[in-house]
Structure formats: C-alpha cells, structure tokens
Amino acid sequence: MKSRRSFLQKLTLSAASIPFVAPSLARDFSEISTTEAYQGPILRVAIMGLGSYGTRVAEAMKDCKKAKLVGVISGTPSKVTEWQSKYNIPAKNCYNYENFDAIKDNPDIDAVYIITPNSQHKDQTIRVARAGKHVICEKPMGLNAKEGREMVAECKKANVHLLVGYRMRFEGNTLEVVRMRREGELGKIMFFQGLSGFRIGDPTQWRLNKELAGGGAMMDIGIYSVNGARYMVGEEPIWVTAQETKTDPVKFKPGVDETIQFQFGFPSGAVASCLSTYNMNGLDKFYLNGEKGFAEMQPSTGYGPIQGRTHKGPLDKPHITHQTVQMDEMSDIILAGKKPVLPVDGEEGLKDLIIIDAIYKAVKTGKKVALNLT
C-alpha cells in the first residue's frame, strides 16, 4: 500500500488530562479541506508489538493528522533501537514487556495499541488500563468471551477507552453499503455471504499455536466474516450452526481449525453463510442480498483498495490507507467524544468473542447454538 508520508502537527495535548473536547468546541472534521492544517488535539500512541502489522500501522500513522506514534513496547531490544531511529522516538518512551507499567508516570503517552499474539491481549490490556492509558487492541480482542468480559470491566473501572482494531468499520465503500442498507435502498435484508481465507505459510508461526492464537483460521481471518455479517446485515445473530473440515492434521493440530463453515440466523429472518479457512487462497468476498437490491465486495476486507458493486453500479469511494483512517477516527473517539457510524468499542469485540465461542461449540456438538447479544 502507498503511504503519502506527510504529517501535520500543530498542537499536542495529553489525553490523560483532557480526555474529551467539549461538544461546543467539536468540529466536523470531515469538512476540513486537504490543504487546511489540523489545529486540534493529537492522540499520542505507543505501539506494543513491533511485528509486521505493527510496522504497517506505524507507516500508516505518518499520514495521520490527529494521531502520532510517540512510543514503543517490545521484547526485542534491537527492534526498539531500530524504531527509535526510524520514527524519532525518544528513549524515555521506550519500554519492554516487563516494565511497561511505568507508562503510568509518562504524561507523553495517551494510548497503547496492542498488536501482540492473541493470548497476550487480556493481560496487556488490563495492565495498560491500570496504568491509566487508553487501550486499542487488535482483533480478536481476547481468546474467548470470558477474557473479553474481564477486559471490558477493567477498562471501565479504570475509566479508559477500550477500542478494537476494526479498520473495516471506517472504510469508505463499506460505509457506503451500510448507508444504503440503513436508508432502505436494498430493501429487507435476506442473505449475507462472507468468504474469508488464505493458504497459510510457515507451520511454526504463532498463528498455528493454540496456546498463543486460541484457535486457527477463525481467530485470525474468520473473524472478518463474523464481524462483517453483523454490520452488513445490521442485526445481531440469534443462532449459529457450524461444521469443521480438516485435511492436514499435521499442520493444523488439535484445537487449531483449518476450515470452518458457519451459518447465522437473525431476528428478521435473514440468514448468513460464511467460510473461514487457512487452506484456500483468494477468499475475500462479501455479498449482501435484499428484496430491492444487492451489494457485492471483492476484495472486501483486504488492505485495499476495496472494490465492489451494487445494483446501482460500482462502489467508488476513494481508497485511503485503512490504518491511517482508523487511527485518526480513534483519536476523535477518545479525544473528541465522537460517535462513529459503526462502533469499535470493547463491547463490540466481546460480541464477536461470544459468537466465536458459539461457533466452536456448534462444531463440537453438531447442534444449533442459540445466541443472545442484546
């Protein structure tokens, strides 16, 4: 993906001392022209986990107007040194996994973006919250709903935001389909299809380790169809059925799913049919069918550009690097109290974990599993 590598910063404020901008001072940032220098508060972020996706976020943040990378947390000293130089990060904002609780006493960091293996999310989220910093956590938010509930509760107790890295909930073409559905242009929604998958490589990576990942494809790529079904249909599912297929039990050990097909039912009568896999390439498609029209997106959740069409013609919103948009929007949520079109808070992350727990239960029992997310 291309990065325009421009950054305009005029004012730095601490989210710890000024957590919200008064409504009377809030601006409709969508109306700011590309030539106008942003004058509002900046969300100062430390990234925890300096792997490939952490790097992607860091590069994307170079184009942010409302968020800035100011710190790092890593267990690899060489990476810390490299990032210090590359992103001009002061030594006082660098931590490891043992000492990062000390961010409590660092007024120059407002939030921590956790981009580590799934099994570490809960404990790291709780430690960041107890240090008084806002939390942005990559998906899945935790290993299961039990962990998710603990994370939500701890962040509420600490009075900090818990947001989840649902970048697609800010993407232009995705939001256009949501708008069409909400305004009745598709009519009554009848059916959703979500296909999420790729052929995974290195068999020794952490994503194929149940202790670190909490599962297999479902916890990594399948969650896109779980989450997408919810915001595309606009309802919460009330039941799920699921079936697992495993063709390579050596690569995909017990507890690490290779391929799962799963189905949802919704209160309106709409249904969904989805596929999550680590063994098929080219699966990145959403299809939404209503009585008056349809929307089809392929690719639907990749890094972009997202492409698709509806019964009215092509989807043509401009592509902007997803992580750039996400971090600017999250700055608005945390610092300006903005309510996004599609929420990305911890409660949303918890709902996905409840559904994934039910999918695994349906696979194990072969039975329809009831859901209650309201």
Kind plus residue range of the DSSP H or E element containing 347:
helix 346-365
Report yes or no: 296 and 309 within 8 Å, Cβ to Cβ.
yes
The DSSP line for 90-134 is -GGGEE-TTTGGGGGG-TT--EEEE-S-GGGHHHHHHHHHHTT-E
- Within 13 A of 332's CA, how many CA atoms are on the CB side? 21
Catalytic residue among 68, 139, 285, 351: 139
279 three-state secondary structure: coil
Distance CA 220, CA 201 (A): 14
Cα first-last separation, the chain = 38
138 Cβ contact list (under 8 Å, min separation 6): 53, 113, 114, 115, 116, 121, 164, 165
Active site residue 224: yes
The C-alpha atoms of residue 354 and residue 374 are separated, in whole angstroms, by 12
> Is 283:197 a contact under the CB 8 Å cutoff?
yes
Residue 139 appears among annotated catalytic residues: yes
Backbone φ and ψ for 85, nearest 5 degrees, come out as: -70, -45
| Per-position b or e across 72-104, b if 16+ CB within 10 A of its CB | bbbeeeebbeebeeebebeeebbbebeebeebe
Query: Residues 224, 231, 287, 360: which is the catalytic one?
Result: 224
Torsion on CA atoms 358, 363, 367, 373, rounded to nearest 10: 10
Alpha-carbon separation of residue 186 from 100, 174, 310 (angstroms): 49, 14, 9
Which residues, 6 or more positions from 202, have their beta carbon under 8 angstroms from its beta carbon? none
Residue with tokens 């909490």: 214
* The pair of three-digit structure tokens given for residue 359, joined into one six-digit string: 């999918």
Is it true that the peptide bond before 318 is cis, omega within 30 degrees of 0? no
Q: Residues with catalytic annotation?
A: 139, 224
